[in-house]
Amino acid sequence: MLRLAEIARPAIADDEILVRVRAASVDRGTRHLPRLFAPYARTQASRLAHKPANLSFEQAAAVPVSALTALQAVRHGMVQAGQKVLIIGASGGVGTFAVQISKAFGAEITGVCSTAKTDLVRSVGADHVIDYTRGDFADGRHRYDVILDIGRGNGLAHLRRALAPRGRLVMVGSEAGGRWLGGMDRLLRAHLLFPLVSQQLSTFIASENSPDLRVLRDLIESGKIAPAIDRTYPLSQTPAAIRHVQNSRARGKVVLTIWRVACQPTLRGERPLLPL
């Protein structure tokens, strides 16, 4: 249902900024919340930060919104140095950032993913990797201080078996499936259950803001985290890029090249930005 067309450059209000878009990332939400993949976009200054100096435009495009979600998930999990952290769905866009950010916080990381993606999860810093097709993270052998559930395919009882008695579970991302409530029934059950037990639940809605983008920029420029990019598509192949993500074949982030240039921006006063 997508088509390529020429559109006018958007007009901006007095409190808005016009951003030239070089590249954009694709995630699962792209299918349900279509974005206007255009060479220009308008936004608020409160949602921007300067691009990390050590990243290309394509690499920078892979940072928001996945890295923002990962950073805020790690914070909601109150991840600290020395803790044992389990990240379910560690090979995706949010997951690869969550592994790196948790590692930067000093935690011991176990990532859960499929067989084909175990090497990727190790390469981004996981101390241990569980192939969910061959093993069960809730087999009773290990308990974790924090579980970041990015995969969203596990029931609460299963998750609780892997969580320490006073551990913290963070459900990351929107729920999917579910006969009556579109998958939100799991969140509702969790909110009813967790006040009765010693384990803790944390859920959140990712906030798109400049301060967190600047934190990510500092982590990237210091070499502590880096985007894991599976492949880059031209704008004309947007449907193929979306299918690649929807079919769970992506190893890390998928990026669209919107406007390819051979040199740095030359417009007066223009500086590379990390837009949302």
Range with lowest mean pLDDT among 68-82, 227-241, 251-265: 251-265
Q: What confidence category does residue 250 fall into, taking pLDDT thresholds of 50, 70 and 90?
A: confident
For the segment 134-167, what is each residue's pLDDT rounded down to a tens digit?
A: 999 999 899 999 999 997 778 888 999 999 999 9
pTM attached to this predicted model: 0.85
Q: Is the pLDDT of residue 275 over 60?
A: no
What does DSSP assign to residue 185?
H
Please tell me the CATH code under which domain 66-203 is placed: 3.40.50.720
Q: Is the pLDDT of residue 179 over 90?
A: no
For the segment 40-55, what is each residue's pLDDT rounded down to a tens digit?
A: 888 998 999 999 999 9
What distance in Å separates the CA atoms of residue 145 and residue 1, rounded to the nearest whole number?
A: 44
Domain residue spans of the chain: 16-64+209-257, 66-203
Please tell me the CATH code under which domain 16-64+209-257 is placed: 3.90.180.10
φ/ψ of residue 235, rounded to 5: -55, -35
Q: What confidence category does residue 276 fall into, taking pLDDT thresholds of 50, 70 and 90?
A: very low
Helix axes 93-104, 66-76, angle to 10 degrees: 50
- Mean pLDDT score of the chain: 85
